[in-house]
Amino acid sequence: MTLRNDVTKTVIVTGGNAGLGYACASTIAAANQGWHIIVASRDASRGATAVQQLRRDTGVPTIDAMTLDLASLASVRAFTDAFRARALPPLQAIVCNAGTQVLRGTSYTSDGFETTFGVNHLGHFLLVNLLL
């Protein structure tokens, strides 16, 4: 994809493929036509579907999906490497929206952390720190 000359900033929305994250990405797209929006989702297919719908709904072509699984610190590191390799306009904001809640029992991330803590806090903490 070639970037438009008037695209001056980039925003990442984690969990931007559904719910509040999708609404946030849509609102940012509608209000900030000069921004490149990255919808970060753990499911590549759902991310791509959300991007197609966002582009249709907002008319903004500079919305892309990238895979990010906050339950895996390796995935967070791979995401930040891939993000930097894309040479997008400067990162202006990160919307740390993605989250999970384990309702029954206890589950753990691939790194051995309790899932809710690993995804909702540690994954975002690492993401933000790697992108600072």
Query: What distance, in Å, lies between the first and last C-alpha atoms of the chain?
Result: 25
Closest by alpha carbon to 41, among 62, 19, 57, 10? Answer: 19
User: Phi, psi at residue 23, to the nearest 5°?
Assistant: -60, -40
Instruction: Say if CB 29 and CB 7 are below 8 A apart.
Output: no
All structural domains of the chain: 9-131 (3.40.50.720)
Distance CA 29, CA 106 (A): 37
- Convert the pLDDT of each residue in 4-46 to its tens digit: 456 789 999 999 999 999 999 999 999 877 899 999 999 999 9
In the predicted structure, residue 56 carries a pLDDT above the cut 60: yes
Cα separation of 6 and 105, whole Å?
49
Amino acid in the structure at residue 51: V
State pLDDT tens for residues 74-122: 999 999 999 999 999 999 999 999 999 999 999 999 999 999 999 999 9
How many whole angstroms separate alpha carbon 8 and alpha carbon 90? 7
Per-residue model confidence (pLDDT) at position 6: 67
The percent of residues in the chain predicted with pLDDT above 90, rounded, is 89
